[in-house]
Structure 1
Amino acid sequence: MQLAIVGVVALAAVILVLRGVDLRSLMDQGIVIIRDLGPVVFFAVMAVLPAFGAPMMIFTMTAGQAFEPQLGLAGVIAISLAVVGLNLALGYWVARYALRPVLVGLIKRYGYTVPRVTKENALAVTMLVRLTPGPPYAFQACILGLAEVPFRMYLIVSWLAMVPWTVGAIVLGKGIFSGKFGMVVSGIGVLIVAVVAVQLIRRKLARRRQELTPAEEKV
């Protein structure tokens, strides 16, 4: 999903350039607006909106360029990872408690099922949901919250799954906005490694999933 967003953004950028739009000027203006808001407002919004469907990469790809002069790139990465953790916790709370009846209805309406979690399959279910390509970031949190995955397990697995995507997107965004080719390559490299690692882990988990009974997998 993250790479798909990058692809869509790249395609949109190419179309705008071909149509004569001064993309560099627009990007610089956008970064100035974000920088003027300040890191407190930016990261506060980042902690909330992705839990309700906003793409996390909108924030991670702009954070480096906006606040690296003030916080340093390592500082931006560290704060972003902490904020991702807060957002994951919020997404879990929203799904499990605040909007549970509404979300259950929506999921059933679109033909999805909520995994049934037991002590034996909780880790496997959490990893499968977080590592399955396609479902948006917020939707994954919704599924796991509704499934009542133990919060500590949910947070640890989800946060670890987000680390490479967060770091890769911050480095990639910094490289794109600053015109540093080396950083672009590094950011893309981190994302590619994450994709490969996800595929390897999913293959191992798929064998575990075959051992689960249909009653354990669905409600």
Structure 2
Amino acid sequence: MSNHSQPVPGSPSRRLIAGIVLALVVAAVVWIFRAELKSVAGGGIETIRAAGPVPYFVAMALLPLPLAWFTVPAGELFAGQLTVPGVIAACMVAVLVQLSLSYVVARYALRPMVERLLHGRGYKVPQVTPANAVSVVMLVRVLPGPPMILGSCLLALARTPFAIYLLLSALVALPWVCAGVIFGQGLLSGRFAPAAAGAGLLIVLVIAVRLFRRRWKSRGEATLISRD
């Protein structure tokens, strides 16, 4: 009798489960020691809060750092001034500015230097046509590969239409921004409900991304953004 239906060790489904379990364990440990962590980070948080939201979100827009570095602390830092929806909106404005600047710099201002950087890292510029532009943007943003700013550079060098690039990139970033802000505010303020809600949204996003990857892989289009 065939046993093809049984998952094999190291299969994507098992790796996904292991990743979720690991994330839950890490979240539980952080939650248990949240008071100690907040005490250690308290001075820095107060310094950043005193500087105000404008420098914070300008830094988020200009610095090529992972989104989570800014979204997770943002709710605890500025929800009192801006409300949680206001913080999410400010984060998205920063994301839109970074997406736009990355596109302009990579496509027009510093194109040769960006090309050398990406080629040195082994990234292949995808071939974008009007027919596949949506698919390419989604692949770059969702499949494993370049971080956000390098993905922006890849799409700019490929001459992806700016409107498609900006809209889809922002739509992909939005749920991650929401999850990061909600989870971070709950975690850093010691409130279980928002922390659990944010963690739950993160888990849903991880599962959705895995399903999306599997779908596009089965269609054979993932090679558009593979490394050389």
Bigger-Rg structure (1/2) = 2
Partner of residue 44, structure 1:
58
| Consecutive unaligned residues in structure 2, runs of 5 or more | 1-18
Is 1:181 the counterpart of 2:192 in the alignment? yes
Is 1:191 the counterpart of 2:202 in the alignment? yes
User: Alignment RMSD, CA only?
Assistant: 2.9
Counterpart CA distance in 2 for 1:132 and 1:162 is: 13
Counterpart CA distance in 1 for 2:176 and 2:77 is: 18
Structure 1 length-normalised TM: 0.82
Contact 2:60 2:94 in 1 (8 A): yes
Counterpart CA distance in 2 for 1:156 and 1:133 is: 20
Q: 144-153 or 78-87, which moves further after superposition?
A: 78-87
Query: For 1:25-72, what per-residue CA distance to the aligned partner results, in whole angstroms no more than 9, with x for missing partners?
Result: 2222121011111011111111111xxx21221111111001111111
SS of equivalent residue, structure 2 residue 210: helix
Partner of residue 167, structure 1:
178
Correspondence list, 1:1-219, <5 A: 22-49=36-63, 53-210=64-221
Query: For 1:160-215, what per-residue CA distance to the aligned partner results, in whole angstroms no more than 9, with x for missing partners?
Result: 00011000000111011101122111111111111222222233333444599x8x
Counterpart CA distance in 2 for 1:209 and 1:88 is: 27
For the structure 1 residues 164 and 211, does the alpha-carbon distance in structure 2 shift closer, same or farther, using more than 3 Å as the test?
A: closer
SS of equivalent residue, structure 2 residue 131: coil
Contact 1:27 1:177 in 2 (8 A): no
* Cα shift at 1:82: 2.1
Counterpart CA distance in 1 for 2:130 and 2:145 is: 26
Query: For 1:79-130, what per-residue CA distance to the aligned partner results, in whole angstroms no more than 9, with x for missing partners?
Result: 2122211211112112212221111112222222100111111111111000
For the structure 1 residues 81 and 179, does the alpha-carbon distance in structure 2 shift closer, same or farther, using more than 3 Å as the test?
A: same
For the structure 1 residues 152 and 112, does the alpha-carbon distance in structure 2 shift closer, same or farther, using more than 3 Å as the test?
A: same
Q: Where in structure 1 do 4 or more consecutive aligned residues deviate above 2 Å? A: 199-212, 216-219
Counterpart CA distance in 1 for 2:160 and 2:92 is: 21
Alignment coverage as a number of residue pairs: 203
Counterpart of 1:178 in structure 2: which amino acid?
Answer: S
Structure 2 length-normalised TM: 0.79
Identical residues among aligned pairs (%): 42
Counterpart of 1:37 in structure 2: which amino acid?
Answer: A
For the structure 1 residues 119 and 218, does the alpha-carbon distance in structure 2 shift closer, same or farther, using more than 3 Å as the test?
A: farther
